Amino acid sequence: MTDRHLLRHLWGALLLCLASTIYAQEYPTRPITMVMPYAPGGPGDTITRVFAAAMQKHLGQQIVVDNPAGASGTIGTVKVARAKPDGYTLLMIHVSHATNLSMFKSLPYHPVDDFEPIGRATSGPMVVVARNEFPAKDLPEFVAYLRANQAKVSLAHAGVGSASHLCGLMMMSALGVKLNEIPYKGTGPALNDLMGGQVDVLCDQTSGTVPSVKAGKIKAYAAVGPSRLPSLPNVPASAEAGITGLDISISFGLYAPKGTPRPVVEKLTSALQKSVADPEVRNRLESMGISAVSTELATPQALAAHLKGEIDTLGGLLLKAGVKAN
Ligand code: MLT
């Protein structure tokens, strides 16, 4: 390569570097879209709106939540995978970012290769709830009723590989029952049917259920896992009834499309870290039984490690349960 060519290449690289630096310094200059791939009104939507409201304060631009729901969250997720990597389209998602890799033979994106992790946002427990007229006065009676009437009991969830589906699978396996699964585009619509009595049982995140339980619109039979929840102190833990093998907590994380400029990712991570440290955010989440992560976990490295762990563990659990989406 002649000196002239080398000089031209160096000059080009310098301009490119300068342009991306100026771009990042000015970012964001217009509203950002935060995609939540489950229906409005569910636990994911609730958590997404808390962070959209908090992060827009730190970024100085409006963040609009968009819910292209369906197909176990893959419709919204692929929208972000295919978006311009300019920092204006983000994805807030949880365990289904990992499980969909095992569930779908022909997934139109790869959860790791097609995304830039921004950072983890929350973690939170799940609770088994039912319609108010469900004929069981407590957890032992609930378990006995499921075992005696399993095929007649409907179990709502947000599609294969979703948190509510995973919890439902674990519950059916732990109790040795097979319930009649009813999939929804999110547990927001599922909760409406539960309150209306059209569906019987749901295992959902507390951010979707605690307000309805406290308002007496549905009833809670078990906090999933070894211990009771501060948000629902009178609800027994599933372990109290001797139910083993039922324990799952759900974490949400924020992603951008692969190729988003590093300085833009850093700006988004910084806004996420300020949000998880914001007492208003922490209190709002705690009122729903959810915890914001520490600032050390609101980082790309922590989210990448968490996603790898879920891909390695939960995908195998679903395959063992013989679950496939297509
Ligand atoms: C799920 O995985 O069950 C979803 O988070 C439900 C939702 O957010 O609507």
Q: Which class for 217: exposed (0-12), middle (13-18), buried (19 or more C-beta within 10 A)?
A: middle
**Spacing, Cα 132 to ligand 1 middle (Å):** 21
Q: What is the Cα–Cα distance from 40 to 49, expressed in whole angstroms?
A: 10
Predicted TM-score (pTM) of this structure: 0.92
pLDDT tens digits in sequence order for the chain, 326 residues long: 778 888 888 888 888 777 777 777 899 999 999 999 999 999 999 999 999 999 999 999 999 999 999 999 999 999 999 999 999 999 999 999 999 998 888 899 999 999 999 999 999 999 999 999 999 999 999 999 999 999 999 999 999 889 999 999 999 999 999 999 999 999 999 999 999 999 999 999 998 899 999 999 999 999 999 999 999 999 999 999 889 889 999 999 999 999 999 999 999 999 999 999 999 999 999 999 999 999 999 999 999 999 999 999 887 677 777 776 66
**Nearest atom, ligand 1, residue 190 CA:** 9
Residue from 162, 192, 206, 314 to probe ligand 1 pocket by mutation (most atoms less than 8 Å from CB): 162
Peptide bond into 28 cis (omega under 30): yes
**Which of ligand 1's atoms lies nearest the C-alpha of 164?**
3
pLDDT of residue 23: 79
101 CA distance to ligand 1 centroid (A)?
A: 17
Radius of gyration over every alpha carbon of the chain, rounded to an integer in angstroms: 22
From residue 187, alpha-carbon distances to 19, 95, 162, 193 in Å are: 44, 15, 10, 10
Q: Report the phi/psi class of residue 87: left, alpha or beta, with left for phi > 0 and alpha for psi in -120 to 50.
A: left
- Residue 277's SS3 state is coil
pLDDT (0 to 100) of residue 326:
63
Q: Is 293 helix (H, G, I), strand (E, B) or coil?
A: coil
Query: What is the pLDDT at residue 325?
Result: 65
Give the residues surrounding ligand 1 with Cβ less than 6 Å away.
38-39, 42-44, 94, 96, 158, 162-164, 186-188
- The values of phi and psi at residue 83, to 5°, are -75, 160
Nearest residue CA, atom 5 of ligand 1?
A: 44
- H or E segment and range at residue 56: helix 43-59
Q: What tokens does 134 get?
A: 């469900």
Quote the ligand 1 centre to 148 CA distance (angstroms): 28
Q: Mutation test of ligand 1: which of 34, 35, 36, 38 has the most ligand atoms closer than 8 Å to its C-beta?
A: 38
1 vs 21: CA distance, rounded Å: 28
Instruction: State the pLDDT at residue 208.
Output: 86
Identify the three-state secondary structure at position 287: coil
- The preferred substitution site among 65, 75, 77, 164 for testing ligand 1, maximizing ligand atoms within 8 Å of CB, is 164
Give the tokens for residue 4.
């002239």
Q: Name the residue of 128, 157, 205, 318 to mutate for ligand 1: max ligand atoms within 8 A of Cβ.
A: 205
Q: Determine the distance separating the centroid of ligand 1 and the alpha carbon of 189, expressed in angstroms.
A: 10
Residue 69 CA: nearest ligand 1 atom is: 9
Atom of ligand 1 nearest to the CA of 42: 9
